[in-house]
Amino acid sequence: MEGLWDLSGIGHLGELEKKVSACCSCGLREGCRAVVFGEGNPAARIVLCGEGPGADEDRLGRPFVGKAGQLLDRILGVCGFNRFEHVYILNTVKCRPPGNRIPSEEERKACRPNLDAQLRIISPPIMVLLGATALQEVIDPGGRITRDRGRWVERNGVFIMPTYHPAALLRNPALKADAWKDFKQVVYKYREIVNADHYSPHC
Ligand code: URA
């Protein structure tokens, strides 16, 4: 990418984080406390992508640390994964939209170079999209999570699984059965292409 916000020369996640912490490409930075870059293992083979930081994430500068994040950690646990070893967690936008509204298309577009640079550096073979915003940003602007979840999409050699956002599972626990089916597929794919011996307590 050319221009003022050129991240193409950056090959290290720490260096990218420094640069992204100074990003003011959209108005969100003015209204938030922290730039929530992401966390996890930079060498992880699975990237989880959410929508954008909420209040807890903004306060602590870390992704998925509120109630939805705690549920996500439990889901990862039953898959035999944890956030510091097996995955890297990030969001479509790095700054909290006021009042936790959905980030606008313009805001997502402004933040897209940051997301693209993260994905280029981590280069995961498996990606999990948590909720409609991530689905629409990464795969299909017209995507619908109820329709598109649970089916792999392959893009440039990356296997991408859309599933429900953990916050949706908290609002509607009846969706958990489908989310579990989706995460089981992630475990099976991980065994297939990353580690055949991966242990999960439940599948
Ligand atoms: N919801 C998201 O989409 N991302 C977070 O980091 C936290 C909650």
Model pLDDT for residues 156-201, shown as the tens digit of each residue: 999 999 999 999 999 999 999 999 999 999 999 999 999 999 999 9
Pocket flag, ligand 1, residue 57 (CB < 6 Å): yes
| Rounded alpha-carbon distances, angstroms, from residue 169 to 7, 115, 152, 202 | 35, 25, 20, 19
For position 2, what pLDDT does the model report? 45
Model pLDDT for residues 104-154, shown as the tens digit of each residue: 999 999 999 999 999 999 999 999 999 999 999 999 999 999 999 999 999
Instruction: Find the angle CA(13)-CA(157)-CA(183) to the nearest 5 degrees.
Output: 80
Task: Identify the residue with better confidence: 8 or 14.
Answer: 14
In this structure, the residue with its CA closest to atom 7 of ligand 1 is 64
Closest atom of ligand 1 relative to the 51 alpha carbon? 3
Q: Which of 35, 37, 39, 51 to mutate to test the pocket of ligand 1 (most atoms within 8 A of CB)?
A: 51
Model pLDDT for residues 43-102, shown as the tens digit of each residue: 999 999 999 999 999 999 999 999 999 999 999 999 999 999 999 999 999 999 999 999
**Cα separation of 134 and 165, whole Å?**
9
pTM: 0.96
Residue 144 has, within 13 A of its CA and on its CB side, a CA count of: 2
Q: How confident is the model at residue 1 (pLDDT cuts 50, 70, 90)?
A: very low
Closest atom of ligand 1 relative to the 131 alpha carbon? 3
CATH value of 13-191 in 3.40.50.2000, 3.40.470.10, 3.40.50.720, 3.40.630.10: 3.40.470.10
For position 187, what pLDDT does the model report? 98
Domain positions in the chain are 13-191
